[in-house]
Chains A and B, each alone.
Chain A
């Protein structure tokens, strides 16, 4: 049984994988460059803002790390769900659910005598978990498409946040702007002196290590990975696949919800409508490019942090930050193309065992 599952990964070495992905990103960036040139925009200038400034200046570098934090957490959330072939594309909504719960704790609960920040994170995790548990339970019990339910959950959570910001939670000290009041001081995660970088970075990296240990060093994690690569095998082995699916969705929502709590507590210090620049969607790319591997997620999250930071710079230059979305789409497509090309070569060479060739072709 063990052999059958591990065969899938044997096909590619980590080095081969990294080179494929680096090459694909290169191709996508080149395509983006031509795309800019063709639309009559100073492509060199745009790329300098997009890729060089975030890495070359200390402000840009710290800002990249700040943006990487929610990407690490949501990226892990997507990775763990995708590992079990649960297509949770609702990390964005779960992030907002977490942010709402964190705001409630920060502004509307009595003082327990404890610092609020940890309580906010716990509440954020719980809210994200609930938001993801609904599609998880519907999937496991009735077979309802989790893709569509999680996606609908994004729209609902974002609109509920709008409702609260424009209505009941609108601040008294915000000069009429639709956002909540600033959180009290004990609601803030500690930041590094003189920067916006906060300890959420450690939270993210710790979560990545913990998730790796859970998936690769426990029996439950093994069961989840088996179920992800071959449901029939998992059922045959007597694993409780449906229960595990609900648990994985809850775990996924917990991580995404935490991202919302960490972002508010560490960076924004208040609830604003539409505060996320699509972290939950970028997370899909982060997870996929990390090959759904928790330890690779922080690294890829950093790369996409560069892109998001650069996107803000673009807006300053008067170029639409939608360019970031264009590049993200191109990157994902070129990785898919590179993988398909690699698979084809494999399919030629390996052709004796049916289990093996199937794993190679479908992955």
Chain B
């Protein structure tokens, strides 16, 4: 019985570890989608962030600096997406896919020389006192700082979106940009800032993978987490708190499938690895079903629709 609880605590800890990258990326994307822009390139941005973080840590030996570098690289990619979709009005779907391909390429190209290398990673920090509580301590309070930061960001982003003027501007721009424009909200500027923020968070998310979760560079190491972050945003109905649930759910499923492999399950490793992806599809179906029953899709009304002031007439 005790052993079972210990395993449960271990699973929760691993789920938080594994879900953090998804949570960081999903929080950025959530704010962006609230402003009416969809970035399908998250996967590519996370890859660039993962490599930049690893390379910077390898070069400087300073993981904190590396995190900043990864976030900046992600922000640049996000701004690139913004230039195309927000400023030029290009198709958000196609521009996002282009970014995914470009990010995969850039990270693979420059990552070649980092395969098999090591770099200083981000060490776990035990929270004083709380970490010593049996079961709860190891499960919740012995993580690396980014895990805590991601959790703390959830209420911060919720507060920002629902209680601040800038958050209101983001939501207004995503629901009805024409009306927001009439009210004097700078639609383009708000959306550009949101794309930068989403890129920043995706870059950070990638760096969490290469500096804390795996602590190495592996080609295509993001392995679909960027796409799962997009699914988490839909699953969350564009609410930060529910994004945390979705991301950790993904983390727990991934950790469980890994443990089943380690325990010598009769199901083969590749089949167990399909679990997070299959779970994502199931979660999307369930949430769509629920939205249908309650008739509240909650999708930002202007999502994927470019804004042009000339069209207002």
Residues in A lying within 8 Å of B, measured CB to CB: 39, 87, 89, 138, 142-145, 147-149, 151-153, 155-156, 159-160, 162-163, 166-167, 281, 284-285, 288, 320, 322-330, 332-333, 336-337, 339-341, 343, 347, 357-358, 361-362
Task: Give chain A residues whose Cβ lies under 8 Å from the Cβ of B274.
Answer: 155-156, 159-160
A329 and B288 contact, Cβ closer than 8 Å, known pairs A336-B84, A336-B94, A339-B90: no
Contacts of B273 in A (CB 8 A): 159
With contacts A143-B288, A320-B108 taken as known, whether A149 is within 8 angstroms of B84 at the C-beta atoms is no
Q: Are B106 and A326 in contact (CB under 8 A)?
A: yes
Known: A151-B227, A329-B98. A160 touches B105 (CB 8 A): no
How many residues from B make CB contacts under 8 Å with A? 54
Q: Sort A-B residue pairs by CB-CB distance and give the 5 closest, nearest first.
A: A329-B102, A325-B105, A322-B108, A326-B105, A340-B88
Contacts of B297 in A (CB 8 A): 143
CB contacts (< 8 Å) of A325 on chain B: these are: 101-102, 104-105, 108-109
The reply on B20 being an interface residue by CB < 8 A is no
B270–A162 touching, CB < 8 Å: yes
Binding site secondary structure of chain A: helix
Closest-CB distance, B105 to chain A (whole angstroms): 3
Interfacial chain B residues near A142, Cβ < 8 Å: 285, 288-289, 292
Give the distance to chain A from B188, nearest Cβ to Cβ, in Å.
14
Would A328 and B284 count as touching, CB distance under 8 A?
A: no
Would you give 11 A-B contacts (Cβ < 8 Å), ordered by A?
A142-B288, A151-B227, A152-B224, A152-B281, A156-B278, A166-B268, A322-B105, A326-B109, A332-B94, A333-B102, A343-B89
In the assembled complex, the Cα of A347 lies from the Cα of B310 at a distance in Å of 9
User: Does A152 lie within 8 Å of B292, measured CB to CB?
Assistant: no
A166 in contact with B270 given A281-B101, A284-B97, A329-B102 (CB within 8 Å)? yes
In-complex Cβ contact of A328 among B105, B110, B224, B311 (8 A) = B105
Contact A332 B98 (CB under 8 A): yes
Task: Tell me the chain B residues, 58-106 only, with Cβ under 8 Å from chain A.
Answer: 80, 84, 88-91, 93-95, 97-106
- Cβ-closest chain A residue relative to B89: A340
- Chain B proximity of A121: nearest CB distance (Å): 26
- Alpha-carbon gap, A281 to B108, bound state (A): 16
User: What B residues does A145 contact at CB under 8 A?
Assistant: 231, 234, 284
Q: Which of A153, A162, A332 contacts B97, CB < 8 Å?
A: A332
> Given A148-B230, A163-B271, A320-B108, A340 and B90 touching (CB < 8 A)?
yes
The one of B89, B90, B93, B110 that contacts A147, using a Cβ cutoff of 8 Å: B93
Q: Which residues of B contact A153 (CB under 8 A)?
A: 281
State whether A288 touches B102 (Cβ < 8 A). no
